């Protein structure tokens, strides 16, 4: 790479969507990024760029997380930022959803964060400004129909972020999270084409009136990961177009109006 890197990052679920946008955003002030995804083809976009190194595997396993940290140390000599973004989701009722499917969600969305954090801590202790950013969800703060496993896992992620921020503060490692609302990604793109009415209805329930873009979320992650956020730890930042701000009965398009007289 020609010179000593300023900062090195690791991003899970980096094949597309939020993960890819975050990796590309981080390269603006990180000299190297380790990309982790279980789909080798999805990481093809980065193969010709020496700023990236790819690790293929399942973030729910210790082996993948250990290999990712080792790749950062081997190629770049350090690790400063870890973005634990990989996630999966299925829908199903509490009574009928197969438990093996529910466990898969918990394994990736929650335990992948726990295992990834534990694997990265020794390297982050050596960084002068170590940071971890976790992708949670506004679904971790409330209920969605037929998404009990996802909601439960993301609620656990939010709790883990807060607790880990205290446990790791003494090592100078900051831990924060983002809670995205509806974001246009490869995983959600089908809604716009296959269910345009549902897509429009959800957009109408967002105060800003539209779905978010992966790049918008990546910019918030970049800030939380950077030394610019040096006194910020233990927070979950909603990136949801204003959804989480609403705690009343009415939503955009349903509010009642009444004349002053």
Residues 68-127 have pLDDT tens digits of: 999 999 999 999 999 999 998 878 888 888 999 989 999 999 999 999 999 999 999 999
Predicted local distance difference test score (pLDDT) of residue 246: 84
Which long-range CB contacts under 8 A does 156-163 form with residues at least 24 apart? 156/106, 156/110, 157/109, 157/110, 157/113, 158/236, 160/110, 160/113, 160/114, 160/117, 160/134, 161/134, 161/136, 161/234, 161/236, 162/234, 162/236
Please say if 52 is a catalytic residue.
no
- Chain segment 128-140, per-residue pLDDT in tens: 999 999 999 999 9
Res. 2: pLDDT tops 60? no
Q: Which of 55-64, 88-97, 130-139, 205-214 has the lowest mean pLDDT?
A: 88-97
Predicted local distance difference test score (pLDDT) of residue 1: 46
Res. 169: pLDDT tops 70? yes
Can you tell me the mean pLDDT for 157-171? 98
Q: In what order do the strands lie in the sheet with 8-12?
A: 52-56, 32-37, 8-12, 81-84, 131-135, 174-180, 236-239
- Chain segment 238-261, per-residue pLDDT in tens: 999 999 888 766 777 665 555 555
Domains and CATH numbers, the chain: 8-241 (3.40.50.720)
Can you tell me the mean pLDDT for 56-72? 98
Residues forming a β-bridge with 84 = 134
The whole-angstrom separation of Cα 157 and Cα 153 is 6
Which pTM value belongs to this model?
A: 0.92
User: Minimal CA–CA distance to 225: which of 120, 122, 139?
Assistant: 120
- Chain segment 14-48, per-residue pLDDT in tens: 999 999 999 999 998 778 999 999 999 999 999 98
Element (H, E) at 71: helix 62-76
pLDDT band at 143 (very low <50, low <70, confident <90, very high): confident
Predicted local distance difference test score (pLDDT) of residue 39: 96
Q: Buried (b) or exposed (e) across 27-37, using 16+ Cβ within 10 A? A: beebbbbbbbb
Tell me how crowded residue 203 is: count the other CB atoms within 10 A of its CB: 16
Residues forming a β-bridge with 221 = none
The whole-angstrom separation of Cα 159 and Cα 175 is 11
The active-site residue, picked from 52, 150, 190, 199, is 150
Can you tell me the mean pLDDT for 203-222? 93
- The percent of residues above 90 in pLDDT, for the chain, comes to 70
Averaged confidence pLDDT in the chain: 91
Predicted local distance difference test score (pLDDT) of residue 4: 52
For strand 183-184 and strand 212-213, is the pairing parallel, antiparallel, or unpaired?
Answer: parallel
The whole-angstrom separation of Cα 136 and Cα 156 is 9
Can you tell me the mean pLDDT for 187-216? 85
């Amino acid at each position: 790479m020609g010179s000593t890197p300023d900062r090195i990052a690791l991003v899970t679920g980096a094949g597309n969507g939020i993960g890819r946008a975050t990796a590309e955003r981080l390269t603006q002030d990180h000299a190297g990024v380790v990309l982790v995804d279980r789909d080798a083809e999805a990481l093809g976009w980065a193969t010709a760029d020496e700023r990236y190194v790819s690790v293929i595997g399942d973030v729910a396993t210790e082996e993948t997380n250990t290999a990712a940290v080792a790749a950062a140390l081997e190629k770049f000599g350090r690790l400063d930022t870890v973005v634990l973004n990989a996630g999966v989701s299925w829908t199903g009722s509490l009574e009928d959803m197969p438990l093996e499917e529910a466990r898969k969600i918990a394994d990736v969305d929650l335990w992948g964060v726990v295992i990834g954090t534990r694997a990265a801590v020794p390297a982050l202790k050596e960084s002068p400004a170590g940071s971890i950013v976790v992708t949670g969800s506004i679904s971790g703060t409330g209920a969605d129909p037929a998404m009990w496993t996802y909601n439960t896992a993301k609620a656990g992620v939010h709790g883990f972020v807060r607790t880990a921020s205290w446990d790791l503060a003494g090592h100078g490692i900051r831990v924060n999270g983002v809670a995205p609302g509806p974001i246009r990604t490869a995983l959600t793109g089908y809604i716009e084409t296959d269910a345009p009415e549902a897509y429009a209805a959800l957009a109408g329930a967002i105060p800003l009136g539209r779905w978010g873009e992966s790049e918008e979320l990546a910019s918030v992650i970049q800030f939380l990961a950077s030394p610019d956020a040096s006194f910020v730890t233990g927070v979950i930042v909603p990136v949801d177009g204003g959804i989480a701000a609403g705690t009343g009965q009415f939503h955009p398009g349903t509010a009642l109006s009444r004349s002053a007289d």
